[in-house]
Amino acid sequence: MLATPHWRPRVTPEQHTADAEAPPPSISRAEAFRYWLKLGCISFGGPAGQIAIMHEELVERRRWISENRFLHALNYCMVLPGPEAQQLATYIGWLMHRTWGGVVAGGLFVLPSLFLLIALSWVYMAFGTVPAIAGLFYGIKPAVTALVVHAAWRVGSRALKNAWLWSIAAGSFLAIFALDLPFPLIVLIAGLTGYVGGKLVPDKFKAGGGHGASRKDFGPALIDDNTPTPAHARFTWTRFRVVMVAGLTLWAVALGSLMALHGWNGVLTQMGWFFTKAALLTFGGAYAVLPYVYQGAVDHFQWLTAPQMIDGLALGETTPGPLIMVVAFVGFVGGWTTQIFGSDSLFLAGTAAAVVVTFFTFLPSFFFILMGGPFIESTHGNLTFTAPLTGITAAVVGVIVNLAVFFAYHVLWPQGFGGRFEWASAIIGAAAALALFRFKLGVIPVVLGAGVAGLAFQLGRSALGF
């Protein structure tokens, strides 16, 4: 295949339309590999930011795929459980270079973040009690609480369009906050409510939009609106069954191997099983499934504590890749604290657990794309959100608000309501919220600024002997 064109200066869509009379030449696997690796290293900003990066590069600048094909793939990925930006990268990689392309694109979206989180998790567990490190996390915790509140506002402002959806959101909050119902049950009830609501009042459960990408003409693309679907992307039931069997076999072999080595009740086996279930429940993004992860990892299995969970989310917010990569931190801490390989191999235990958790969390995403992609390629312009998904999205808002309440409680009253109120944490959290809501600052500067403020406060308190 021909090599891709060299990098070009940034040009306007109008210049693209006027100057680009032909689509770019075919893209080699080597060039695709380099791009997906770069994307995995710079994909900050959550799903909206990551999708925006891909849109600018792949649609506007490189013209590997047209606007309509990009949005068509994105709509499908938003319907699926799992990290939509990673799934979108997998979809485009698969469409361009078959299974190899999908695995490489999706894998490189995750691996840089995994390696970085393993390193940061080790620093956290080995040196987390050092005053400087502890001070940084003291400031980061309230900033994370503000980030969760901001996430609830972002999702809610887009999803809650009428009283019906507001009612579902309020009901999901009460269900998890007051009744302590499990997250899967809340998702099921919300989906059924959306289904019934879609039949009774369809106008109230109309499909939502994507991430706000606008439809413009950037010139002919390699995969354009009228480009025929390649042979590997055409739907057949035979291919569907082959991919499904391959996916289930790979999952069963991996989980079966862990069970053979460690038994069903072994930590790694239970992590594989638990995060398989979590992967199938990530409707609405990582914030939506974190309460479920908390219920299992903190309350049930006790792999880590609630403050550690908040610290892990802070690390996940400041590293590239999907936010659900916070599960790698959960796995690392769980492997370390349970000493699955003995007290002399804590780093190895943490690393093994982080890899296991990441594998089982992302495996379903790859097979959703490889199985469903050919069907989606046969339905250009026809895929819409379903009413059940609209109901689930509304419920997600209530679940995220519950997560914010949970974080605020543990940050502001770390010893419980009977203990002292952390005024410094409240001030840092309020400043972080102001930076996010009023000044529209990004996640990285907010988290870093809060960390510096926490460090200064802790050092000052130590110096004054508080």
Tell whether 165 and 95 lie within a shared domain: no
Residue 219 domain-assigned (yes or no): no
User: pLDDT tens digits, residue range 270-320?
Assistant: 999 999 999 987 766 677 778 889 889 999 999 999 889 988 887 887 788
Residue 443 domain-assigned (yes or no): yes
Tell whether 41 and 184 lie within a shared domain: no
Q: Which of 51, 82, 107 is the last residue of a domain?
A: 107
CA distance 466 to 463: 8
Tell whether 97 and 117 lie within a shared domain: no
Residue 351 domain-assigned (yes or no): yes
Q: Which of 107, 130, 161 is the last residue of a domain?
A: 107
What proportion of the chain, given as a percentage, has pLDDT over 90? Answer: 43
Residue 90 domain-assigned (yes or no): yes
Q: Which of 75, 107, 139 is the last residue of a domain?
A: 107
User: DSSP string covering 333-369, please?
Assistant: HHHHHHTTT-TT-HHHHHHHHHHHHHHHHHHHHHHHH
- Band (144; pLDDT cuts 50, 70, 90): confident
CA distance 53 to 57: 6
In the block, tokens 């994507």 appear at 210
Tell whether 48 and 197 lie within a shared domain: no
Tell whether 374 and 275 lie within a shared domain: yes
Residue 343 domain-assigned (yes or no): yes
Query: Which whole-number Å values give the CA distances from 96 to 27, 31, 99, 216, 234, in the listed order?
Result: 8, 12, 9, 22, 13
Residue 14 domain-assigned (yes or no): no
Tell whether 253 and 397 lie within a shared domain: yes
Tell whether 73 and 182 lie within a shared domain: no
Confidence at residue 207, expressed as pLDDT on a 0 to 100 scale: 54
7 pLDDT more than 50: no
Residue 4 domain-assigned (yes or no): no
Tell whether 339 and 451 lie within a shared domain: yes
Residue 175 domain-assigned (yes or no): yes
Q: Are 368 and 376 in contact (CB under 8 A)?
A: no
Q: Which of 350, 334, 265 has its CA nearest to residue 297?
A: 334
Q: Which 8-state DSSP code applies to residue 204?
A: G
Tell whether 138 and 285 lie within a shared domain: yes
Number of domains in the chain: 2
Tell whether 80 and 197 lie within a shared domain: no
Q: Which 8-state DSSP code applies to residue 64?
A: S
Domain residue limits at 100: 23-107
Q: What is the mean pLDDT of residues 184-191?
A: 83
Least confident of 120-129, 173-182, 386-395, 406-415: 386-395
User: pLDDT tens digits, residue range 53-96?
Assistant: 888 889 888 999 988 888 778 767 877 888 888 999 999 999 99
CA distance 65 to 101: 14
Tell whether 442 and 324 lie within a shared domain: yes
Q: Give the H or E element holding residue 398.
A: helix 387-412
Tell whether 103 and 247 lie within a shared domain: no
